[in-house]
Structure 1
């Protein structure tokens, strides 16, 4: 994913609400959200080129989501594995905290830059692999955002979607619609507000929109989920093609022992 906003409220009936956009080349083969054949307890979209994911969930109450870090000065090891395999790894490992700690102690340096979120009803971890630091932390309660830098870096689109989620939390009935509107806003940021990641002005402007509309590259999915205190998860994925063409929607509900779907 390239943009995520989430509300972390541990100790409440709904500890986690999360919504994100996946930006990718349309030519990259992708499976829509569904149950994974090689891990039937896991559901999510699937990158068919490398086998990973950008956001997925495991029955029993575990959620993982990923954004890439965009920094052209960040050194990437030759033959670095796909960052999407981190989402799969988080949902398939036996001990989440131990697995994350191993990554934070140097194993994550095998990958290009990323942010990884892993949540249960009680805990939410953030692992950041950037140019200047590799760090694992527990996310404090509140409304947060991630784009292609560190947690809550004040990029314009991140501020917009985080503000929309803050408002939705305060106004019953506004989740997820109000946040979805912000996530699917194609407006580009003003030049003076753009980050400088080394990509050049034209590309920075194109990538500054929450919802990127393009012919070959753009926002391919908007996904949102809720995780309740009992470990039940409800997750929706909307899919898009070139120029933002709508291509379908899937909703899955995961209880600890069942899976229901609405196509």
Structure 2
């Protein structure tokens, strides 16, 4: 997942709006959004190469509240090392509450290639990163943007997606699926600061739009997570082929205790 914007506890109707694009090699095998058979509380797409996910939600299970998480790679540290744990495993463990990395306070963040991660545990939102040193911090209610740099780094496409989300909130915040239009933007934004480090993906341009249309490495899917103040939510995934054409869409409802 290479770009996201989030409104956390920033609107009277919506407790959480989380939108993002996953940019990846089109050849990497992936399963679409579904309720996982081996983890029935987990709603997410699945990376069939490493077994984890890049974004997802989990239902409330017994005494545990619902959870959501999204991860992005962090550029500027060179090509990823293949002997490190998959960053998708960290997302999956946090969502299910199982595995070696299920506790964000004790998880060995240094086991992974560079990443940024936002994790919501029902009542609170958190930000985790492991470069240049491990950081674990709470996020206050507000609007956030994240790509492959620091949290809220003013990259052109990050500013553009945050602005689109803010405009949607101010305009009435009616149908979250309208935000797919913002995730499909292919024009280059005017404002912002250009990233000072090259992408670790050799097929990605130094400055890219929100939606990347590229036959080798591009936007594989767009995801919208929307949950209202009563805890009723939906996760929707829209998928694209190497030509940037839409190939499918799935949507699954969930509920967290209010």
Return the TM-score normalized by structure 2. Answer: 0.87
Q: Which has the higher helix share?
A: 1
The root-mean-square deviation of aligned C-alpha atoms, in Å, is 2.8
Out of 62, 79, 82, the position equivalent to 2:67 is 62
Counterpart CA distance in 2 for 1:213 and 1:193 is: 22
Residue aligned with 2:87, SS: coil
Specify whether residues 167 and 174 from structure 1 end up closer, same or farther in structure 2 by C-alpha distance, changes over 3 A only.
farther
Note if contact 2:156-2:192 (Cα within 8 Å) is conserved in structure 1.
no
Q: Is the 8 A contact 1:212 1:219 kept in 2?
A: yes
Which residue of structure 2 lines up, in the alignment, with residue 9 of structure 1?
9
8 Å Cα contact 1:188-1:206 kept in structure 2: no
Counterpart in the other structure of 1:261:
none
Could you tell me the TM-score, scaled by structure 1's length? 0.86
Q: Please list every run of 5 or more consecutive structure 1 residues that lacks an aligned counterpart in the other structure.
A: 258-263
Q: List structure 1 segments (4+ residues) > 4 angstroms apart after TM superposition.
A: 10-13, 189-193
Superposed CA offset, 1:204-224 (max 9, x none)? 646521000011110000000
| SS across alignment from 2:103 | helix
Aligned with residue 92 of structure 1, among 78, 93, 96 = 96
Alpha-carbon distance in structure 1 between the residues aligned to 2:246 and 2:172: 28
2:119 matched to 1:118? Answer: yes
| 2:211 corresponding residue in structure 1 | 211
- CA shift for structure 1 position 22: 0.3
Over residues 166-190 of structure 1, what are the superposed CA-to-partner deviations in whole Å (9 max), with x where a residue is unaligned? 1111111454355322221112356
Comparing 28-37 and 179-188, the one that deviates more: 179-188
Q: Structure 2: which 5+ runs fail to align?
A: 61-65
Deviation at 1:39, TM superposition (A): 0.1
Partners of 2:191 and 2:96 lie apart in 1 by 42
Cα deviation, 1:131-180, whole Å, max 9, x if unaligned, reads: x2210111111111010012101100000000111111111145435532
CA spacing shift, 1:241–1:77, aligned 2, 3 Å: closer
- Contact 1:213–1:219 under 8 Å retained in 2: yes
Q: Quote the offset at 1:194 in angstroms.
A: 2.5
Give yes or no for contact 1:168–1:175 (8 Å, CA) kept in 2. Answer: no
Closer, same or farther: CA 199–119 of 1 in aligned 2, 3 Å: closer
What is the total number of aligned residue pairs between the two structures?
250
